[in-house]
Amino acid sequence: MDNNAQTITRPALLSGPLDGHFLRLRPDKAPINWTQYDIKAAATFECVGVLMPEPYVVVDIDDAEEAQRLTNLVQGEKIKCQIMQTTRGRHFWFVAESPMKNSIKSMTAIGLHADYRSYGKQSQVCIKLMGKWREWLTNYDWDDLDLLPRWLRPLRQTKYNFLDMSDGDGRNQTLYDYQCMLSAHGFTKEEGFQTIRYINQYVFKDPLSKKEINTICRDEAYPEETPLPEEVDPDAPWFGEKGKFLHNIMGDALVKEMPLVSVHDQLYTYKNGFYQPGENALLRSIINKFPAVKRTQESEVLNYLNIQKHIDAVPVDEYVINCLNGRLNLKTGELLPHTPESLDFQQINAAYDKTAYCESLDHMLMRVFCGDYQLYKLFEEMLGYCLIKNCRMQKIFIFFGEGNNGKSTLLRVITSFIGHGNYTTLSLQDLEKTFRPAELENKLVNLGDDIPATTIKDSSLLKSISSGENVLVERKNKDPFILRNYATLIYTTNKMPHVNDKSFGFYRRLILVPLDAKFDVTDEDYDPDIAQKVVTENARSYLLNMAIRGLHRMLKNGFTKSDRVQKAIETYKTKSSTALSWISENEIDEKYLLSKPTGELYFEFKNWCENEGIDNIPKQRSFSDDVTRQFNFVTSKPQRDKNSKKVCKFYLKN
């Protein structure tokens, strides 16, 4: 329903349950008294309100844009509520199970600002002002109105502002975190997922893709539901004289309950054998102890904990990975017990079992890699590289290929093995944005799926991150900090992006893995259940064995040299360079390039570009640079030819 929707000025609505509850108001919308009138008397008044009748509640959205978003939501989801236009926004009438607390400037669970007026609380709303009845945009039967949804009730929040969030503001991670907040406030999994989907579809300016939302709203991603206590213990030690809240005492109590640390203004709590983002778990504990806690009091406790448990440098066991059944030394094979003394911020979704084997997984991988054992070994080595906490090999993996090639199943295998919360999904372009690189902190993998084929203008940060160099990053509204990345960068694409950087330092980092397989339901070995078979508990343990095997090989010999990978890189170089494309398409060899002056070669190249309709023809300097890099040439200083003209030529580098 848009702002131009047909309105109903004085429907039969007013003669229903509202009749007999009308109030006479002053021009400032305050009641003259609380005498209630019927519709006949109210029609003679200049200003009319209605005392909220049972069992209704009004959600007053005072901002026109936010009111329209809620209107779009209730219409799109076919939710029955009465909607009344106001001077600045709209009133939304619902049924309430019981009287609610009246409130102003509250935040709904979907992130809209609202005032609430409920029956049973001596509250009224204006429906006629200065002789003009308010316009109604709906005309439902009052008995058919829906209950006020959970996602539209007021919710105490600390930091979420969905209305202003757009691409680049970390929406995925924010929604992950928000699920924990919703669970901490008693939302069931179904209520939480519905709230997340409505925020994305109706509140965000630009919604995330359906695929991204489905990844966020996975059963295993939603925190366990724990009921809130019904009463507060007035004798609790965090209440001082006259009930004053003592945030430091509450903070100390939380420290005794659970091991926790603070790194870069982020709180982590120890649970299930490793440290996890803990702010929402701590909020849950605070609310359990003190359900009536105010937002400012929550902040006081969290700030106290950030100071008390702050650590500057986190010691990293580069070759120890936290598994489901212990801490595994990847070099020695020793399985150590979990302990809060070890600051592990990840736990892969696999248990160590050196006897594990999965035939279905082996068969699937060989089919995806077209029986190429070099690529199979390279995949093992990549998995092992994902588990160590350094980037000394300085590699970036890109899987490319089009259509039904097994990519989706391969990604499912990787993400299932690495585990939720241990990977990010930043594209190459995301790395150029201000706040996105900080998401790499404490991640094992960055998995950018279906990256666009747009141009990467500046690859310097990409090279620094892939090398594990110190990079200054920042989170929104937080102090900058130094990130030493160890997440392995993995990307998939149908078409390789163009990169302005043609340097050896860039290309040596790339491992381009072609996915040339084609899968079809008519294949003799087609297995409709393969996607489930390759992510079982046994399959994940076998992946860990593969990773260990690949890591040992990689540490000894480097990554496996693959003919198909090398060919892919050479092809990428050629397509990324107009000069190399000219050489390739015209079958120009090294001898020809050495036989002519560079100016003459550039003239031929320029004519070819014009005939091919190529815009933005590279300058001669760029042309020469691409040729010298590819063929290991040097360019001579200007010399006189037989016509006394100054020319330069290419020579082989000694």
Does position 58 have pLDDT exceeding 90, yes or no?
yes
> CB burial class (10 A; 0-12, 13-18, 19+) of residue 538?
middle
Residue-range definition of the domain harbouring residue 170: 162-221
What does the pLDDT average to over 400-427?
90
pLDDT in tens, 549-563: 999 999 999 999 999
pLDDT reported for residue 3: 42
Q: Looking at the domain assignment, is residue 133 inside a domain? A: yes
The mean pLDDT value of the chain amounts to 88
pLDDT reported for residue 576: 78
What pTM does this model have? 0.65
Name 483's bridge partners.
471
Q: Looking at the domain assignment, is residue 339 inside a domain? A: no
Q: What is the spatial distance between Cα 194 and Cα 205, in angstroms, rounded to a whole number?
A: 18
User: What angle in degrees, to the nearest 10, is found between the helix axes of 279-289 and 295-308?
Assistant: 120
**Alpha helix positions (H), 558-597:** 563-576, 578-585, 590-595
Backbone phi, then psi, for 435, in 5-degree steps? -100, -5
What does the pLDDT average to over 6-27?
77
pLDDT in tens, 467-499: 989 999 888 878 888 999 999 999 998 888 877
Does position 565 have pLDDT exceeding 90, yes or no?
yes
Whether residues 60 and 171 share a domain: the answer is no
Whether residues 549 and 584 share a domain: the answer is no
Domain endpoint, select from 308, 323, 347: 308
Whether residues 432 and 484 share a domain: the answer is yes
Backbone phi, then psi, for 137, in 5-degree steps? -100, -5
Whether residues 421 and 559 share a domain: the answer is yes
What does the pLDDT average to over 335-351?
96
Whether residues 132 and 30 share a domain: the answer is yes
Whether residues 374 and 430 share a domain: the answer is yes
User: Amino acid letter at 102?
Assistant: N
Whether residues 126 and 179 share a domain: the answer is no
Q: Looking at the domain assignment, is residue 235 inside a domain? A: no
Does position 2 have pLDDT exceeding 80, yes or no?
no
Whether residues 440 and 534 share a domain: the answer is yes
Task: Confirm if 418 and 535 have CB atoms less than 8 A apart.
Answer: no
pLDDT in tens, 583-627: 888 889 889 988 888 888 988 888 898 888 877 888 888 888 888
Q: Looking at the domain assignment, is residue 437 inside a domain? A: yes
The token duo for 459 is 């690859």
Q: 125: number of CA atoms within 13 Å, CB side?
A: 28
Task: Confirm if 323 and 297 have CB atoms less than 8 A apart.
Answer: no
Bin 126: left if φ > 0, else alpha if -120 < ψ < 50, else beta.
beta
Domain endpoint, select from 535, 569, 603: 569
Residue identified by tokens 């929104």 is 476
Closest C-alpha among 174, 138, 147 to residue 158: 174
pLDDT reported for residue 7: 53
Whether residues 494 and 596 share a domain: the answer is no
Backbone phi, then psi, for 565, in 5-degree steps? -65, -45
Q: Looking at the domain assignment, is residue 340 inside a domain? A: no
pLDDT band at 230 (very low <50, low <70, confident <90, very high): very low
pLDDT band at 10 (very low <50, low <70, confident <90, very high): low
pLDDT band at 156 (very low <50, low <70, confident <90, very high): low
Whether residues 250 and 373 share a domain: the answer is no
Top mean pLDDT of 280-284, 433-437, 555-559 is at 555-559
Closest C-alpha among 116, 98, 97 to residue 107: 116
Q: How many domains would you assign to the chain?
A: 5
Whether residues 299 and 430 share a domain: the answer is no
Q: Looking at the domain assignment, is residue 50 inside a domain? A: yes
Q: Looking at the domain assignment, is residue 352 inside a domain? A: no
Between these two residues, 445 and 572, which has the higher pLDDT value?
445
Q: What is the spatial distance between Cα 20 and Cα 107, in angstroms, rounded to a whole number?
A: 32
The token duo for 647 is 């020319």
Q: Which positions ≥6 away from 17 have C-beta within 8 Å?
A: 53, 56, 142
pLDDT reported for residue 121: 87
Q: Looking at the domain assignment, is residue 334 inside a domain? A: no
DSSP string over 441-463 = TT-SEEEE-S-----B---HHHH
Top mean pLDDT of 45-49, 277-281, 497-501 is at 45-49
Which CATH number covers residue 613?
1.10.10
Closest C-alpha among 183, 175, 232, 241 to residue 208: 175
User: Do you find a cis peptide bond into 55, omega within 30 degrees of 0?
Assistant: yes
pLDDT reported for residue 5: 45
Q: 152: number of CA atoms within 13 Å, CB side?
A: 27
pLDDT reported for residue 159: 64
Q: What is the spatial distance between Cα 597 and Cα 363, in angstroms, rounded to a whole number?
A: 55
Whether residues 142 and 167 share a domain: the answer is no
Domain endpoint, select from 221, 251, 268: 221
pLDDT band at 4 (very low <50, low <70, confident <90, very high): very low
Which CATH number covers residue 419?
3.40.50
